[in-house]
Amino acid sequence: MDIIAKIREKSREQWIDLVREYVDDVRIWVEDNGVKASAVALVVGMVFILFLKLFITVLAIAGLAALFIWSVSIPEAQSRGASSRAEDDSKKGPTH
């Protein structure tokens, strides 16, 4: 099944009309089924918050790991020494 060919079967205006019809159908369903819509919104909101908390936790752990690695690693100037850096610069030649 070629998705791009299927998308190209309809014009942009037809896709916009299809989306508008779908939104209208959802709006009518929400008006007719208020209690079910509230329950669905509650469940979707809870799932969204759980994934958001998971994402923020993973991001925080990655940030702490990066901070730990940054603080433990030795800067390049300290590991090579100033004299070896001056030799490397002299081998490169003029910078202008």
pLDDT at 93: 63
Best CA proximity match to 37, nearest among 46, 48, 51, 26: 26
- pTM exceeding 0.85: no
In angstroms, rounded to a whole number, what is the distance separating the alpha carbons of residues 31 and 43?
18
pLDDT at 2: 87
Question: Which residues have a Cβ under 8 Å from the Cβ of 85 and sit 6 or more positions away?
Answer: 77
Local confidence pLDDT in tens for the 96 residues of the chain: 788 988 889 999 999 999 999 999 999 999 999 999 999 999 999 999 999 999 999 999 999 999 999 998 888 777 766 555 556 666 666 666
Q: Which helix (H) or strand (E) holds 25?
A: helix 12-32
